[in-house]
Structure 1
Amino acid sequence: MSEFMKSLLKDILIAIVLATIILFFIRPTIVKQTSMQPTFNPNDYVILYKRAYAKKMPKRGDVIVFQSKLKDEKGKDKLLIKRVIGLPEDVISVRDNNLYINGKLYSEDYLNDGITPGFVDDLKVPDGEYFVMGDNRVVSLDSRSPEVGTIKKSQIKGKAVLRLFPFNKIKRF
């Protein structure tokens, strides 16, 4: 076998291995909406770790992408990017522009406007489900709304681990 053929086969094998790793472990996604500002802006290119919750549970503060019940313009279930706020069995309340978790005021320094509008009256997060919200609470359609509600672990497509674009804002999460 010629050196050229050996080199070509080696390159093809490396490409196949890399493609397999990428398809199994990560998923690139582009943020479309403003509901996660200032953490993510429209057109930010984000890498999701698809296996993040294979053996563990999401933690409060994780930013996830999940399959919602909302429909996109093609009639498919819409993917949303939100932050995990409430864990299974937590009691979530929103009143007077403040978020309370298990009766305690919850402070969040990443919020766009520093407030959480709306009203949630002592909602107990069902076992195996999560309460999620965007960082731009004024415009975010999230678990405060019955159209989204709490989400099951099976709906989670991955954890946001890296912003790749824009290049001047590359960041690990």
Structure 2
Amino acid sequence: MTKKKNEVFEWGKAIIVAVLITVGVRSFIFAPIVVDGESMDPTLKNENRMIVSKIGKPKRFDIIVFHATEDEDYVKRVIGLPGDKIEYKNDVLYINGKAYEEKYLDENKKAIKEQFGKNILLTENFTLKELWGFERVPKDTIFVMGDNRRDSKDSRRIGVIPLKKVVGSTNVVFWPIKDLQLIK
């Protein structure tokens, strides 16, 4: 009988340790997330499952997850870091006066021009000053946008995102299997 109690005790310890490790990893290192909506199309599809890394600070062009509301997390791309001056002009992103190429938008730009004509912009012209009244992304915040620029609830509508609301960055789609990929 003692041998059976020992075995049950050992199994119980192993299960408790496994649960504690799982909770620790999910709380502090990695977590799964489900993409909800088309705001990151074509880079991410609705209902893609991804791994979020909670380690490190977001970098420019990272795809991040942040708490948009108490009940909802958003997945968007970091465009502006604290202190950056952001401007969009004729479908070109300017950060601190320098033009940046956004290859991840090429498919959407091509589709919009084929559908509506060459003079249609994927991303409407704007400056931070026009949107929110300040020249630069404020300290301890970031400016984010979805890759589906015409259908994205992002910093153009909801404002800059406090860094403390960032859950982490993500670049691994693991489900569905046909969409398995590393995002750049």
TM class, shorter-chain normalised?
Answer: 0.7 to 0.9
Larger radius of gyration between Structure 1 and Structure 2: 2
Return the offset for 1:23.
Answer: 2.7
CA distance in 2, matches of 1:13, 1:86: 43
TM-score (norm 1): 0.81
CA distance in 2, matches of 1:116, 1:22: 39
Q: Secondary structure at the match of 1:84?
A: strand
TM-score (norm 2): 0.77
Return the offset for 1:10.
Answer: 5.2
Question: What 5-or-longer segments of structure 2 have no aligned partner?
Answer: 110-120, 129-134
Question: What 5-or-longer segments of structure 1 have no aligned partner?
Answer: 70-75
Structure 2 counterpart of 1:49, from 53, 56, 72: 53
1:102 aligns with 2:102: no
Per the alignment, residue 127 of structure 2 pairs with: 121
Q: Secondary structure at the match of 1:144?
A: helix
Deviates more, 1:98-107 or 1:118-127: 118-127
CA distance in 2, matches of 1:60, 1:136: 17
Q: Which has the higher strand share?
A: 1
Residue by residue over 1:77-121, the C-alpha shift from the partner in whole angstroms, topping out at 9 and shown as x without a partner, is 531100001111111011222221111221111124136422322
Structure 1 counterpart of 2:163, from 146, 153, 164: 153
Q: Secondary structure at the match of 1:164?
A: strand
Per the alignment, residue 3 of structure 2 pairs with: 2
Number of residue-to-residue matches in the alignment: 161
Q: Which has the higher helix share?
A: 2
CA distance in 2, matches of 1:65, 1:142: 12
